[in-house]
Chain A
Amino acid sequence: MTDTTKTPTPENTAPATTAPRGPLPLPTAAARALLLAGGLATLASTFLAWTWTSEFPGDLTVYGYPGGLQWLTFTAGLLTTLFTLASYQVRGLRWLLPAGNNTPLLLTAVGAFGVTWFTILAIAIELGGLVNLEPGGWIAAVASLLPLLGALALPPATATSGTGSTGGTKETIKAYVAKPEHIPAAQPLNGWAQRLIITAVTALGLAVFTYGIDTEYGELFIGYLIVVVFAVWALHTAGLLDRFSRLVAANRGFTLAMGFAAAIAFPFTQTDDHYANIGVNILIFGTVALGLNIVVGLAGLLDLGYVAFLGVGAYTAALVSGSEFSKFSGVQFPFWAAALTGMAASLVFGVLIGAPTLRLRGDYLAIVTLGFGEIFRIAVNNMDGQSGPDVTNGPNGIPSIPDLKLFGFNFGNPHDLGGFTLGRFANYYLLMVLIMAIVVLVYTRAADSRIGRSWIAIREDETAATAMGINGFRVKLIAFALGASLAGLAGTVSAHVTYSVVPTPYQFAGSTPPNSAFLLAAVVLGGMGTVAGPLLGAALLYLLPEKLDFLQDKSLLAFGIALILLMRFRPEGIIANRRRQLEFHETGQLDIPDTPTLTGEPAVTTKAGA
């Protein structure tokens, strides 16, 4: 092997007698060869037919080019091959493995194996037996197994970890999927190269995200999830995500601009307005989740009735929309006025709920907000003119809300723009991107300021924060009101997107978003206290029930299990806030004082008082 310079591979640092090995007894060279051969074979197998009939969705019957799920196998196989070549120190690919560890090889191999075998099994189960597989399918199954075997024969961690292969299975697994502690810093790039990389990654991200939204059947979406999860995990353990986040930190403004450019570009990649509809709903859901993130993530106020503010905004917009079923059917506000009215109504509602409840702490606040959230839905249900005053039309809601018009631009009609046709939902999507931009701006600016610091201080220790001169009640009320008005703003658009408002979506828990439980889950799942986290969480939580329609009423059970697993293994959420990451994964030694105390008393006395 030619590597003697900067990335020590296990076999040349450890003495030959105790060369570290994986669970499978294979020489390292053979293991790598197996990885490479298997990766290439997997790539090749996607050009074969896997089944004889096109009854299985995606048409896997064609020789000569991949189709449907085969593309996903192809992608995963390509990643495995690239990482293997990088571990061979092939020129031009070394940057893929900065730390020289084997974990990315294993993870991509598992991804390729997972998606291929999932496809094979799906074919066998749906078409009724393994006879439905063409030779190509068998080849793919064997080919995707080879890299996995090869990766398991490689030593788990990098050579530096002395703790050991002698531990139990738990330690072995941990060593396999762990990210190395030290990732060598990248070579400095000039500004243009950095921007080029960010642009390329954003484009790639848009492509991956668009593919996910456009998946036409459940099998494809599951395969997509398998590949994306393992690919991202592999990139994470390779240290590439760390390097990229360093680039992002150096070019914050540019990345934000690129992110919004990608968000704007999304409807132009769509031919079917249905997917733009999914996009606009994800954006509404994500915007509300980001608003909730101010309340929960920054100020630490557990609000279980947050969806009510979305409802207030939506109902307010519906009432002043000029719908003939509205109580004020003669009134038709222009959009800016309707948006401001919706925000103001939510704000007032937020202050009304917040003023009495924010004196409570922790669990009590959660229960009371849950109660108020339900009060909103039930009140709206009853204001039908029989049980109560006639305002909201009760369970029938307010239908036939007219489309928005802004500067003569009717959101309901398709528009041609530079050769692309933007349908109704695409129009609303672009409007929501604008609103999202406002909310992101509000979130980032508020978080990094005197008021944002006092929110975090309140979350950390309310007594100490008060002793520092922070008026806890006032500051919490501001967070509550701000969160409420942002949700109200999103609600005003959502009323127009869905044509009608009815009370049912604004409940505590249901099987489809938005509801308070899903909103909170999106924030927690994505990563509290971050901007990207709740957006990612919202996208996932919206897409999963949308795409996996076979889950139906079991989707809540699936989410429950997924959330429990996530909280067990990654409590800080998918995208981790730096603070939270340190909170949940203490290294241990950082928290022991350097100078031991002589008295032998515990470092922190816990006498009551103060």
Chain B
Amino acid sequence: MTTMTTPVLQASGVTMRFGGLTAVRSVDFTVNTGEIVGLIGPNGAGKTTFFNCLTGLYVPTEGTVTYKGTVLPPKPHLVTKAGIARTFQNIRLFANMTVLENVLVGRHTRTKEGLWSALLRGPGFRKAEKASEERAMELLDFVGLAAKRDHLARNLPYGEQRKLEIARALASEPGLLLLDEPTAGMNPQETRATEELVFAIRDKGIAVLVIEHDMRFIFNLCDRVAVLVQGEKLVEGTSDVVQADERVVAAYLGEPFEGDPGTAETADVAAAETGAAPQSSTTSTKGEAQ
């Protein structure tokens, strides 16, 4: 990995309260250029709330989120314009638009033809439409959907809908791509393909932030992983560091019996972890050593 450490996204002291409930408590978080960062945590840990703070759906109660040095505006469409694109946990394509049209909608922030130019159809309008279409076709080529440009999005198979959502997000020419559970419901082959796709996106110079429950996917993919538990950031670091942290294990699998951290429980943990991640045997031994 090259050592580019310019921060793209910087969240400092982000707190989100809903009435008496604190969903996210003073989280500091950085994504640097050329990085793939993972965000994990058990269900209800506040991952999506934090995500929504980043994308402008929520305005954080305290703290600030800056993108390339400027504070993010509190409106989702302005955040996209600033350069943060996202996909959704439950696919939200424009189901009755064609594949190409979906990507063209993604180009919205990077084009500016208004109603008048659409009505008058001057040469500028045609040029812009053509350029948009070319760019959209490049992206469809990139994710491997170019042949399906005229299909309705709803008729694509599930894996391709995920890909199309990523292509649509990339069409806004983002500097940071937020992926909300991109492999949910995918089979291992599709997960592998998504992994390759995310690497390819990173190689285009776009930083990526991934929320995911698939640990193998996260630890294969990410340069850094942050763990969110009950609204607070527990650990942040490389996959090895995170996997070695027993608090993370505890957050996912529960605390061992007090006073009895016997070998039986650690063996259970190890057995459970082998199912999720290949390196988990090292994790548990490290946990024992500490």
Contacts and interface: CB of A to CB of B under 8 A. Distances in A.
Do A and B form a real pair? yes
A457 B94 contact: yes
Interface in A563-610: 579-580, 582-583, 590-599, 601-607, 609-610
A463 B92 contact: yes
A431 interface: no
B284 interface: no
Contacts of B117: 449
A597 B186 contact: yes
B220 interface: no
Contacts of B111: 450
A453 B105 contact: yes
B74 interface: no
A593 B159 contact: yes
B241 to A, nearest CB: 28
Contacts of A594: 157
A465 interface: yes
B119 A446 contact: yes
A605 B81 CA distance: 28
A482 interface: yes
Interface in B78-112: 80-81, 85-86, 88-97, 101, 104-109, 111
Interface stretch (B24-32, B59-67, B177-185, B273-281): B177-185
A460 interface: yes
B76 interface: yes
Contact of B108 (A441, A454, A582, A602): A454
Contact of B118 (A446, A583, A610): A446
A604 B118 CA distance: 36
Contacts of B51: 609-610
Interface in B117-132: 117-119, 121, 125, 128-129, 132
Interface stretch (A99-107, A111-119, A355-363, A468-476): A468-476
Contact of B88 (A460, A582, A599, A610): A610
A605 B80 contact: no
B57 interface: yes
**Most chain A CB neighbours (cut-off 10 Å) among B51, B76, B132:** B76
Given A451-B115, A579-B152, A464 B88 contact: yes
A464 B92 contact: yes
A467 interface: yes
A246 interface: no
Interface string A179-208: 000000000000000000000000000000
B41 to A, nearest CB: 13
Contact of B105 (A441, A468, A599): A468
A425 to B, nearest CB: 30
- Which of A456, A466, A467 is the most central at the interface, judged by chain B CB atoms within 10 Å of its CB? A467
A442 interface: yes
B185 A609 contact: no
B185 A449 contact: no
B155 interface: yes
B69 interface: no
A607 B89 contact: yes
Contacts of B121: 445
Contacts of A595: 157-159, 187, 189-190
A461 interface: yes
Given A464-B94, A467-B55, A609-B52, A453 B77 contact: no
Contact of B187 (A464, A482, A580, A597): A597
Contacts of B180: 610
A488 interface: no
A445 B180 CA distance: 36
B225 to A, nearest CB: 21
B119 A609 contact: no
A441 B105 CA distance: 22
B239 interface: no
A155 interface: no
B114 to A, nearest CB: 7
A114 B55 CA distance: 62
B168 interface: yes
A591 B155 contact: yes
B113 interface: yes
Interface string A94-138: 000000000000000000000000000000000000000000000
Nearest to B189: A595
A457 B105 contact: yes
B181 A466 contact: no
B48 interface: yes
A596 B181 CA distance: 18
**Shortest 4 CB-CB contacts between residues of A and residues of B:** A469-B109, A449-B118, A469-B80, A609-B48
Interface of A: 441-442, 445-446, 449-454, 456-457, 460-461, 463-472, 478, 482, 579-580, 582-583, 590-599, 601-607, 609-610
Given A445-B121, A454-B105, A595-B187, 18 more contacts: A450-B108, A451-B118, A456-B94, A461-B95, A465-B94, A467-B77, A468-B105, A468-B169, A469-B81, A470-B105, A591-B155, A593-B158, A597-B158, A597-B185, A598-B188, A607-B48, A609-B52, A610-B57
Interface of B: 48-49, 51-52, 55, 57, 75-77, 80-81, 85-86, 88-97, 101, 104-109, 111, 113-115, 117-119, 121, 125, 128-129, 132, 152, 154-155, 157-159, 168-169, 172, 180-181, 184-190
